[in-house]
Amino acid sequence: MADNNVRKVSFWRIFFPSLIALLVGSIISIIFFFSTLAGFMNKYFGKNEETSLKDKTFLHMDFNQMIGDVGYKTFNSSSFSMEHQHGLGEIIYGLEKAKTDKNVKGIFIEVSQLTVGYGNLFELREAIKDFEKSGKKVVIYAQGEAVTLKSLYLTTAFKDSYIFPESNVEFLGLSSEVMFYKNLLDKFDIDVEIIRGSDNEFKSAVEPFFRTEMSDSSRLQVQRIIDGIWSKMLTDISKERSVSVEQLNAYASEAKILNGKDAVQYGLVSATKYRDEVLDLLKKYAGTAKDKEVELYAFEKYARDKYKEEVKFEEKKESIALIFAEGDITTGGNGIASSKTCKYIREARTNDKIKTIVLRVNSPGGSALASEEIWREVKLAADKKKVYVSMGNLAASGGYYISSAATRIFADPTTLTGSIGVFGMIPNFGTALNKHLGITFDGVKTNKFANISLTRKLTPEELAIVQREVDNIYDQFINRVADGRKLSDAQVRRVAKGRVWLGADAVNIGLVDEIGGLVTTLNYAKKQAGDLPITVWPKVKENDLRDLLEMFDEQEQSNEDASVKISEEVLNYYKEIQKLEDKFGIQMRMPYELKF
């Protein structure tokens, strides 16, 4: 029997208190959020003395991300993370400022799997060694599951070089491997029409689509390239570590150096140490009390802040423009988009306060159309003021095309350049679609060549039309180089044929004027134009939201080791497959991608 004395609770007596509690809780949460945010903003962006370096600070270089020409952190909304690249320009400038910063005791570098092109690696090494000449300490520590050849090479350059005892070490030489797709295409009945410039025997970017192995010409040039890079690495290591090149080669051939202990035993690194021992050494150098931690400050933040201060655009001051052109050449999108790059060069050309232009090129090439658009702007600029090109890891094919009109060209000894040639690829999917999906095609046309299509094989006449256009573009490439480099047509054709040259060889054949990196190029420009400040394109802009996201990203880096990472080799293969679509059509592109 129900208890009639039980009191019924009104809905409204529950609803209103709950609503009030919800509102009060929300208000408290909002206040807490904005108070926390204000604290973060004040700490990281506030103009106070706490952000300045303390006395006897070691700047901490932790190269756990790719090193390119331009540094950036881009927020990826799909993964809710930052895509991150260190910028060589910022690193070099930060080192230059640190040399005279009274609060900087030295640099502490940690490396493991350094991701950087060889040209930039050599420039980075020289910039750090130049910093060391200031009398300040450079301490480098190699650690992690595997210390790659590039990381080891950087480590060998310094007296205070240490390595984790059990880290695996890569010191076995260099190799280059090319992925071939012909058998895969055959399995799916996909045919690809290959059209190269008539004498472009070295233009081997197309070989994976119709061969199963490297051609003799491709093998010749790739062997020359890796031999040249390996020789420079051994020469540099030999000079710093007092081990002969012959002995170093023997160590590699006999697989003598496989871990940190081996690297020390055979004289490539000073000693094995655990990280706490390296930190104790830093404390000793800094004169830090035993019960206190050595002062470390993120070098990347230091360099970025100093860099921003220096390169902010000032309309009223005369300056030298530094324009970065990094990536594949395209008409739009990422990389060297002609729409953006032409705009930067045009702005520098038409601005009377810009006295000289330095164009930093780091590109394997790409679209023939976009290359011509950028070349035009470089030519117009060079007709009005001095334009100096600094070549990075590579400035090949379209990358060389856009450089050829410059007043003077600088390259690193191992820059991959030249590759003066053109190719086109036209796939035929008709057989595959018919055989595997039952799809057929038919149509009508008004004129004989109106339906050059991707669903059938080209006729000999159609193929001849495409070949003629490729040859026309190749002839134009030859003319552009001949005009820009003051060479005859015959001289250019002898060194063209799609062949890739090392920077050191390119000087000897007239494609490059002088060996030197970005610093050498800027110093030359300053000497010619006067000691003017540098204005950078893309222009450095303040972005508080990006800086805030960077702060959170930096906080999360301590947990980075717990995350799952895709190996660099697998990632490179994935990126190569992604680029396949971009290789169709008429291209000025390096004949292969080297993975060491």
Q: Are residues 378 and 248 in the same domain?
A: no
* 3-state secondary structure at position 398: helix
Q: Are residues 321 and 284 in the same domain?
A: no
What pLDDT score does 1 carry? 44
pLDDT of residue 468: 95
**C-alpha–C-alpha distance, residues 144 and 164, integer Å:** 7
Domain shared by 106 and 134, yes or no:
yes
Using alpha carbons, select from 169, 159, 167 the residue that is nearest to residue 138: 159
Judge if 252 and 274 occupy the same domain.
Answer: yes
On whether residue 422 sits in a domain, the answer given is yes
Query: What is the spatial distance between Cα 529 and Cα 320, in angstroms, rounded to a whole number?
Result: 8
Domain boundary at 302, 333, 353, which? 302
Q: Name residue 140's beta-bridge partners.
A: 109, 161
Q: Which of 250, 274, 302 lies at the terminal end of a domain, its last residue?
A: 302
Is there a contact between 149 and 258 (Cβ–Cβ < 8 Å)? no
Question: What are the tokens at 29?
Answer: 């949460």
> DSSP letters along 136-180, please?
-EEEEEE-SSEE-HHHHHHHTT-SEEEE-TT-EE--S--------
pLDDT digits (tens, 9 = 90+) for 284-323: 999 999 889 999 999 999 998 887 776 654 556 899 999 9
pTM assigned to the model? 0.83
The per-residue pLDDT for 537 is 80
Considering the domain architecture, whether residues 347 and 402 belong to the same structural domain is answered as yes
Q: Which residues pair with 322 in a beta bridge?
A: 358, 536
Range of the domain at 349: 312-545+579-589
> Are 243 and 282 part of one and the same domain?
yes
Count of CB atoms within 10 A of residue 254's CB?
A: 9
Is 434 found in the same domain as 535? yes
Q: Are residues 259 and 120 in the same domain?
A: yes
Domain identity same for 253 and 352: no
Domain assignment present for residue 24? The answer is no
Which of 217, 338, 367, 397 is an active site residue?
A: 397
For residues 382 and 458, membership in a common domain is answered with yes
Last residue of a domain, one of 274, 302, 330: 302
Nearest in space to 335 (alpha carbons), one of 22, 89, 579, 585: 579
Give me the phi and psi of 64, to 5 degrees please. -100, 5
Provide the pairing of β-strand 408-411 with 354-363: unpaired
Count of domains for the chain: 2
One-letter amino acid of 468: R
pLDDT confidence of residue 554: 46
Confidence (pLDDT) at 588: 66
Q: What pLDDT score was predicted for residue 78?
A: 60
Asked if residue 476 is part of any domain, the answer here is yes
528 and 379 belong to one structural domain: yes
Q: Which runs of E-coded beta strand occur in 285-378? A: 296-298, 319-326, 329-330, 336-337, 354-363, 365-367
Low-confidence ranges of the chain (pLDDT < 50): 1-7, 9, 11-12, 40, 43-51, 313, 544-546, 549, 552-568, 571, 573-574, 580, 592, 594-596
**Maximum distance among all alpha carbons in the chain?**
112
* 203 carries an active-site annotation: yes
In a domain, 60, yes or no: yes
Question: CB-hemisphere CA count at 13 Å for 486?
Answer: 6
Residue 7 lies in a domain: no
Q: Are 588 and 398 in contact (CB under 8 A)?
A: yes
Q: Is 408 inside a domain boundary?
A: yes
Contacts of 353 (CB under 8 A, 6+ apart): 315, 316, 317, 318, 319
Cα(322)–Cα(419) distance, integer angstroms:
25
Active-site residue (options: 105, 150, 203, 379): 203
pLDDT given at position 99:
96
Residue 397 falls in the annotated catalytic set: yes
> Residue 242 sits in a domain of what CATH number?
3.90.226.10
Phi/psi zone of residue 336: left (φ > 0), alpha (ψ -120 to 50 degrees), beta?
beta
Give domain status of residue 442, yes or no: yes
Same domain, 292 and 359: no
The alpha carbon of residue 519 and the mean position of all alpha carbons in its chain are separated, in whole angstroms, by 17
Does 572 reside within a domain?
no
Identify the DSSP state of 539: P
